Structures are given as C-alpha cells and as structure tokens.
Amino acid sequence: MAGAEQWAATPLRTSYEGEPLVLVAVRGELGRWLARQGFSPEVVSRAQLLVSELATNAVEAAPGQPFEVTARRVGPDTVAVAVSNAVSTTRPPPRIQWRTPEPLAPRGRGLAIAAALADAIDIVDDGPGTVTIEARLVDRTAAGGPSQQEGWP
Amino acid sequence: MPATGPESPVPLEVELAFMNDQSSRIAIDATAGRLTVTGVVDSHTTPQLAQAIESRGLTADLELDLSAVDFIDSSGLRIIVNAHRELEAAGHRLVLVGASDAVTRLLDITGLATHLHLP
C-alpha cells in the first residue's frame, strides 16, 4: 500500500462529453490512476462500477453536456471520486432517497448502487447550474495482512 | 497520463486488463432459446442487448448466458429486469444460465439474486 508520502500525488481531473460512448474511457482512466496510486484491485473494481453509475447519471441528466470526473487521495487509504455536471436540468434526489424501493423496480438503481459501493457518498455541490456527487472509498486490503472480504456496507 | 509526482509503476497484469478494457464492445450470440453475451454491458451497449432480447419475443423462455460479461452496471441490469418482468407477465421465464463475477456482484448489491432465475 502506498505510504503517507504519496498523499500529495496529482489528482485526476478529466472532462468528458455527455455521451454513453465515453463511459469505457471514464472507467479505464480512473482505474489506471487508482492503480498507479497503489490502490488495491478491490478498490479499482469498486470505483470503476461506482464512477460508471455516477457518469451514467450525469449523461442522462444532461445529455450532450460535458461532465467532469475527479479523483484525489484524501488519506493514506482513502480516495474521493467525484462526478460533476456542468449543466443539469435534472437534479438528483436528496441523499436520503437513494434507495431502490423494490428490487424489481423498472429503474432508479444507479445512485443506490453507488451508495452501496462507497464508504461515504453525498452531494457536495448543488449550486446553480452545477451538481457534484462525491464518493469516498477506503482501501482495507493491507499488503501482507489477511485478505479482506469484498463486503458491501 | 502525464507522470507527475510519486506514482507506483502499474503491474503488468493490471496494464493488460486495462488494454482489454479499452473496448466498450458487446457481442451477442443468439442460438435457439439462448443469448450469450460477451464484453461490456453499460448504457452505450445496452441498446444492442435490448434489441436482441426484443427480437426473441415473449412466446418462450429465454436463457441468458452472462458468464463472459466483463463489466455490467445498472443500465444493463435495467434491461435484464425488464425482460424478466415482461416474460413473467407472458407466462414464461428469463433464466440466467451463467453469470460472471461482475454480474453476481451487481445482483448481490441490488438484492436481485433472490428474484431472478439464476444458475
């Protein structure tokens, strides 16, 4: 696991056009950044699904509009991944509503899945014309220690 | 990616995985009663899956082999759940005859593992 001296590594910040075809690049670029930061394959896998959900939401909320993905280390074992819509006419519901009412519901799973994957998640910026959802993921797989389960909160 | 700041070299197996991940491709093989899906199932590729399922109709059970799905998110899950509901309403079943780890993880998170017909 990366040591404390790598805290100051350059954050990831990329803008993408609001089209579904960019999702593979969103997942790939975040995964590569996380791997270079020394995060475990478990965190990489979890983050890639999480960012795919948030980015899909961003594209659906503001199709054709650019959205931004950022990732920054906020602790020796913690990364904050955020997706921002520059322009959005459809705002996400309040955090408290991010639970699918029933498993077989026709839609509405994306944010609930993101919440299940993250150790913490919330809307961090809801100003005029912008919405940012940030998730924090903690890497609990310590090198040399017992392997951790891929448990969901 | 510009290499600024202290960063760990990426292990070779991780690089290879990312090379494969550069393709947001889906392949759907249709044989009698079964669709075999390979690759990525996200909002970019789900229209193809939806079309493949729709062209099967609702007149018989549908087997879905997802054992070669490398990635799937809620967009793909939406297609699967809707197909499940429509087939059930028509008196038939959607049966998952294979599920990759990516699929299983998503079904576990969403509580759908107990609602769908799994292998």
Least Cα distance to B69 among B96, B33, B37 occurs for: B37
Element housing B96 (H / E): strand B94-99
Q: Is the Cβ pair B109, A117 closer than 8 Å?
A: yes
| Cα gap A12→A37, rounded to integer Å | 11
Q: Is pLDDT above 50 for A153?
A: no
Ramachandran assignment for A94, one of left (phi > 0), alpha (psi -120 to 50 degrees), beta (any other): beta
The lowest-confidence range among A36-45, A87-96, B48-57 is A87-96
Residue B41 vs residues A29, A66, A107: alpha-carbon distances, Å: 18, 22, 16
Report the half-sphere exposure of A80 (CA within 13 A, side-chain side). Answer: 17
Measured between beta carbons, which residues in chain A are less than 8 angstroms from residue B18? 28, 31-32, 35
Residue B113 vs residues A153, B88, B96, B101, B106: alpha-carbon distances, Å: 17, 16, 10, 13, 9
pLDDT digits (tens, 9 = 90+) for A18-43: 999 999 999 999 999 999 999 999 99
B85 at the A interface (CB within 8 A)? yes
A40 at the B interface (CB within 8 A)? no
Mutate to test the interface with B, among A49, A54, A83, A117 (most CBs of B within 10 A): A49
Mean model confidence pLDDT for chain A: 84
B60: its two tokens: 């018989």
A3: its two tokens: 């040591």
| Single-letter amino acid, residue A61 | A
Residues B7, B10, B16: CA angle, nearest 5 degrees? 155
Q: How many CB pairs under 8 A join A and B?
A: 108
pLDDT digits (tens, 9 = 90+) for B63-110: 999 999 999 999 999 999 999 999 999 999 999 999 999 999 999 999
Q: Is the Cβ pair B109, A10 closer than 8 Å?
A: no
Q: Model confidence at A100, in pLDDT bands (50, 70, 90)?
A: low
| Cα gap A2→B53, rounded to integer Å | 45
B16 at the A interface (CB within 8 A)? no
